[in-house]
Structure 1
Amino acid sequence: MEPESRLSRILAKGDQPELPPDPLPELTAILMDAGPTQPSGMGPVPLTATELRAWQQGTATYLTRWEFRLVLRLSAEYLAELQRASDPLRPPPWINKPTPERRVSVAKHIRNLLRD
């Protein structure tokens, strides 16, 4: 049996996951509308240029060159993070890793709490 994902645990408690800031919500919406990944016989794959062009034509939404390239890259990154996130112990990717100094500080704080 696979361990329950962090998202499943959050949703089971009735909470919503904390999300990172989104500097380009319009492109994120386009990615999600076009389908961030596509099914294949071997599992999900990133959105292809052909599929994105078909989405553009079907929705009459035309992207600039940089937007088109970014949506394709976002699709690949989305899939990569989706696979990494299957580890239930993986922290959210937007949380900065603690410095060694911060680890020492937190460890001292926890030891002090446990002494009381």
Structure 2
Amino acid sequence: MPQAMPEAGLPAAKHSRGALLEAGGVDPPMPPLSAPWIADRLMEIGPVRSNGMAKEPIDFDALQAWSHMTCTPISPWEAKLLVRLAREYLAESHRAEHPLALPPYQTEPTPEELAWQERRMRAAFG
């Protein structure tokens, strides 16, 4: 069950790893982007949407509608990549709900993250 984090100003609710880090004063490290326009396009389209009961990744229909409405052609490889990235985005957002989850591109926590974790543990256990 999610716990309140008063030292970070967070009530008892689900928060992503990034939100918890930012609330603790830590900027989440980000991986380098070799194709930033792909990430920009994914965020413009929106990687997830609601189906009425839960979030789901965008699909080819959503890409086709976006492409048509914005007059932005999408090549087949871009469409496949965007759909795959949307699926991974949603899957990682679920994994990231665990407060101690590591970023998907990093296997060891940074010294900054370790210090943040230590502050949290001291606040919780004195």
Runs (5+) with no aligned partner, structure 1: 98-116
Residue in 2 that maps onto 1:21: 32
Partner of 2:106, secondary structure, is: coil
Match of 2:72 among 61, 72, 89: 61
Q: Which stretch of structure 1 is more off in the superposition, 88-97 or 46-55?
A: 88-97
- State yes or no: 1:2 paired with 2:8: no
Describe the superposition over 1:54-74 as per-residue Cα deviations: whole angstroms up to 9, x where unpaired: 001111111111011100110
Match of 2:89 among 43, 57, 78: 78
| One-letter amino acid matched to 1:7 | G
Runs (5+) with no aligned partner, structure 2: 4-14, 109-126
Please give the TM-score of this superposition, normalised by the length of structure 2: 0.69
Q: Who wins on radius of gyration, i.e. which is larger? A: 1
Per-residue deviation at 1:14? 4.2
Match of 2:101 among 78, 81, 90: 90
In the TM superposition, structure 1's runs of 4+ consecutive aligned residues that sit over 4 Å from their partners are none
Match of 2:47 among 31, 36, 56: 36
| One-letter amino acid matched to 1:11 | E
Identity of aligned residues (%): 38
Partners of 1:9 and 1:78 in 2: CA distance: 18
CA 1:9/1:53 → structure 2, altered by over 3 Å: closer, same or farther? same
CA 1:27/1:5 → structure 2, altered by over 3 Å: closer, same or farther? closer
Residue in 2 that maps onto 1:11: 22
| One-letter amino acid matched to 1:64 | S
- Aligned residue-pair number: 98
Partners of 1:89 and 1:14 in 2: CA distance: 16
Partners of 2:44 and 2:34 in 1: CA distance: 17
Please give the TM-score of this superposition, normalised by the length of structure 1: 0.75
